[in-house]
A = this chain, B = another copy of it.
Amino acid sequence: MKRSAIQPGSLFAAALVVFTLLVSHLAFAQPAHPLPSWNDGSNKAAITTFVDKVTREGSPDFVPVPERIATFDNDGTLWAEKPLYFQVYFILDRIKALAPQHPEWKTQEPFASVLKGDLKGVLAGGDKALIALAMAAQTGMSTADFERVVKDWIATARHPQTGKLYTEMVYQPMLELLAYLRANGFKTFIVSGGGIEFMRPWTEAVYGVPLEQVVGSSVKTQYEMRPDGPVIMRLPQIAFVDDKAGKPVGIDTHIGRRPIAACGNSDGDQQMLEWTTVGQKGARLALLVHHTDTKREYAYDKGTKKALEEAKARNWNVVDMQRDWKVIYPPEKK
């Protein structure tokens, strides 16, 4: 091996000195806290204490980088979910867009109610009606076609009450938490009851969570070779429901590792928070976002009571949106 006149050892030492000066200067000049939208209090302290414990070398709770897995519910945890799950608005809009190709829907429930704008009539049909609408709106096309439809909708559709784009109704404090965990070596995953292919087209841009780190509910799919190349078709059959006891199963299937941090907001997240914390040694973080803010967002306990009770019994951190969060949504872009 030839060696040039310059010794890499001495160069490296020189570079190290210069960079150390540079880094210490930047550390001095930068804002002190990575969670600026969180008010000081026990929840913010629980987050930073947890991260310190699992990342500090020599700490008894130290966790190596590959095992720093954090899972986040989506609806009600990373973005709003009222008055209806945002994916329901997507499904309703899609039914209206497809109606010209389905003249029979004018007299056929639950489609007729959707087309008349009778939301109460739709909801009266219960889960069965919603599943029929979900299948009609979201299957029978290729995964590539579905991705295009979702991308178009998410870029233009607006929330019926706030007039915001749905992706503008994500929670700023949670965006900061995601970024803070990633800056500390965590891989952040979404584990949502929502459709996996409904989320993937926009999670990377909005949350910094790549497609392969999104776990969700799904329909069956089928590979088919067509004259212009292969497609994967979405079939009208539920494959997996990523909710309640399904969440640990989804985590196991997609991640294969037990999270050390998990955030949710409802009874659907209870088992994910249990799986993350119960019977585990070492520091764990379980956050339950409690919707308490009628003024800036919504306040409700429907579908969250069991999780709130368990949070109390197990000492999970219950985030009080009104008290803990300085802002709810990101500042509007001018």
Contact = CB atoms under 8 A, between A and B. Distances in A.
Interface of A: 1-4, 6, 8, 11-12, 14-15, 18-19, 21-22, 25-26, 28-29, 66, 69, 143, 187, 189, 196-197, 200, 204, 210-214, 218, 221-223, 225, 228-230, 232, 245-246, 248-249, 252-257, 271, 274-275, 278-280
Contacts of A14: 18
A230 B229 CA distance: 45
A185 to B, nearest CB: 13
A155 B278 CA distance: 30
Contacts of A275: 223, 230, 232
Contacts of A228: 279
Tell me whether chain A's interface is mostly helix, strand or loop, or mixed: helix
Contacts of A204: 66
Contacts of A25: 4, 6, 8, 11
B256 A200 contact: yes
A230 B278 contact: yes
Given A230-B278, A249-B232, A275-B230, A11 B21 contact: yes
A223 B271 contact: yes
B230 A249 contact: no
Contacts of A210: 66
Contact of A218 (B214, B253, B271, B279): B253
A258 to B, nearest CB: 9
A18 B22 contact: no
Nearest to A13: B18
A230 B271 contact: yes
18 contacts: A1-B29, A2-B29, A8-B22, A11-B21, A15-B18, A15-B19, A18-B18, A211-B256, A211-B257, A212-B254, A212-B256, A222-B245, A225-B274, A225-B278, A228-B279, A230-B279, A232-B275, A254-B254
A99 to B, nearest CB: 29
A249 B229 contact: no
Given A4-B29, A196-B256, A230-B248, 12 more contacts: A2-B28, A3-B29, A4-B25, A8-B25, A8-B26, A143-B252, A187-B212, A211-B255, A214-B256, A221-B249, A223-B246, A230-B274
Nearest to A147: B256
A14 B26 CA distance: 16
Nearest to A211: B256
Contact of A252 (B12, B221, B225, B255): B221
